[in-house]
Chain A
Amino acid sequence: GAGVSQSPRYKVAKRGQDVALRCDPISGHVSLFWYQQALGQGPEFLTYFQNEAQLDKSGLPSDRFFAERPEGSVSTLKIQRTQQEDSAVYLCASSLGPGSGNTIYFGEGSWLTVV
């Protein structure tokens, strides 16, 4: 597609439920990022992939969060046993490569509400 595509756009989960958020990056983009944006805050880095390799997962808030990109294209962010503090917008982004001159393009986000 023309842009970064995320699904679902909106998800309401009961506390304790597992959720999976999907990201389709721009075709050919090597770099893929996940960010978390809580209400009234700027996006915060969660994890970074270069192709299928997860090079940085330092931003994942707990071991309940897991991300994968097995074939170097589509990525999934999984949150196990969701808690209310997980409520946020989860933004996926991609860029052509890791170089700092490459523009990072964001998807529209998956809005997660945990009740």
Chain B
Amino acid sequence: EDKVVQSPLSLVVHEGDTVTLNCSYEVTNFRSLLWYKQEKKAPTFLFMLTSSGIEKKSGRLSSILDKKELFSILNITATQTGDSAIYLCAVRNSGGSNYKLTFGKGTLLTVNP
């Protein structure tokens, strides 16, 4: 059974700080790892990672995957109050159920002004 563990479960920072969110996984036949941001609405897609060592970047957010050590990190630099949200990590396998996402519990990030 695929498994995703995120840490920390919650984090409180001040505006301007840099944060690193962690995601480790166990997947049979790994296909991809995805990051979502969830405010009090729909989880919105951030990144999909399939290859080790290649950083994906979007503005102040970036993410990288390590397929040898089975983890990914999501970095947010110069945090803003609007970054406050739950950040979800999910994995997808390449087997018969490759349509299915297995999520971690998420990291609740609070950015204070």
Contact = CB atoms under 8 A, between A and B. Distances in A.
Interface of A: 3-4, 31, 33, 35, 40-45, 48, 50, 55-56, 91, 95, 98, 100, 103-109
A100 B30 CA distance: 11
8 contacts: A42-B4, A42-B90, A43-B43, A55-B99, A56-B99, A100-B98, A103-B48, A104-B45
Interface of B: 4, 6, 31-32, 34, 36, 41-45, 48, 88, 90, 92, 94, 97-106
B105 A104 contact: no
B103 A100 contact: no
Contacts of A33: 99-101
Given A43-B88, A100-B31, A56 B97 contact: yes
B4 A109 contact: no
A49 B45 CA distance: 21
A115 B97 CA distance: 35
Nearest to A49: B99
Contacts of A44: 103
B105 A41 contact: yes
B104 A4 contact: no
Contacts of B102: 45
A41 B6 CA distance: 11
Contacts of B44: 106
Contacts of A3: 42
